[in-house]
């Protein structure tokens, strides 16, 4: 399995992204040297795509597949793409506060901590549907790791499209997220323009 090993703060700096969107509270003290360089239209489109890929932890081939599915779905392609990225199981775990970062959420799913509708799912890219119930396995609820995560994410707001019971480590997907509920700083229309060339 391919893994992106680029240092997180360095990548955030190059994309002009605040690490808080990744669930990281650290800040880089370094300044970006090429701040006054003019960026072409293609450069802007490419940066938006790289931002989306980096935030959600998706590599190029799966991201392209999401785009191709989004084109075939009814409605706006850009919005469909963002909804599909948001409905990934690892992202939903992060949104619920069951993980500090999306990378940690991915690891928790990989380590078979998660049940979707009572069945074990260990695929981070699993597409969650409206009405699905997501919970942490009973034996995993008592792990110190989960207690530490819940302490760290106690103040995090859960989006309206998710219904979370933090005590029982259980949640339900109430609806599809709206664009207003997706708080990532990505202009999806530039991604659509890039891929539709």
List phi, psi (to 5°) of 26.
-75, 160
For residue 13, is pLDDT > 90? no
For residue 3, is pLDDT > 90? no
**pLDDT value, residue 27:** 66
pLDDT in tens, 113-157: 999 999 999 999 999 999 999 999 988 888 888 888 888 887 778
Architecture of domain 8-27+39-85+184-195: Orthogonal Bundle (1.10)
Strand order in the sheet with 170-173: 119-120, 114-116, 133-136, 170-173, 162-165
**pLDDT value, residue 146:** 85
Contact yes or no for 192/171 (Cβ under 8 A) = no
**pLDDT value, residue 36:** 63
**pLDDT value, residue 148:** 87
Contact yes or no for 129/173 (Cβ under 8 A) = yes
**pLDDT value, residue 151:** 85
Query: For 59-113, what is the HEC assignment?
Result: CHHHHHHHHHHHHHCCCCHHHHHHHHHHCEHHHHHHHHCCCCCHHHHHHHHHCCC
Claim: this prediction has a pTM higher than 0.75: yes
User: For the chain, which residues make up each domain, given as ranges?
Assistant: 8-27+39-85+184-195, 89-173
pLDDT in tens, 23-41: 776 666 666 565 567 888 9
CATH code for the domain defined by 89-173: 3.10.290.10
CA separation (Å) from 133 to 17, 87, 120, 178, 187? 32, 13, 12, 20, 30
Contact yes or no for 162/95 (Cβ under 8 A) = yes
- The CA distance from 80 to 71, in Å, is 8
Containing H/E element for 134?
strand 133-136
pLDDT in tens, 61-106: 999 999 999 999 999 999 999 999 999 999 999 999 888 888 889 9
């Amino acid at each position: 399995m391919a893994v992106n090993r680029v240092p997180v703060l360095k990548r955030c700096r190059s994309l002009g992204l605040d690490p808080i969107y990744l669930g990281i509270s650290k800040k880089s003290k370094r300044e970006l040297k090429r701040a006054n360089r003019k960026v072409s239209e293609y450069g802007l489109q490419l940066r938006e795509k790289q931002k989306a890929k980096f935030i959600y932890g998706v590599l190029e081939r799966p991201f392209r597949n999401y785009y191709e599915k989004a084109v075939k779905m009814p409605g706006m392609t850009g919005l469909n793409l963002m909804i599909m990225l948001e409905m990934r199981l690892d992202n939903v775990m992060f949104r619920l506060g069951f993980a500090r970062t999306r990378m940690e959420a991915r690891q928790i799913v990989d380590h078979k901590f998660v049940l979707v509708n009572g069945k074990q799912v260990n695929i981070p890219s699993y597409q969650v549907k409206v009405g699905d119930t997501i919970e942490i396995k009973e034996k995993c609820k008592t792990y110190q790791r989960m207690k530490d995560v819940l302490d760290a994410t106690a103040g995090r707001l859960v989006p309206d499209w998710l219904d979370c019971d933090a005590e029982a480590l259980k949640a339900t997907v109430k609806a599809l997220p709206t664009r207003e509920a997706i708080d990532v700083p990505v202009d999806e229309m530039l991604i659509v323009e890039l891929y539709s060339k």
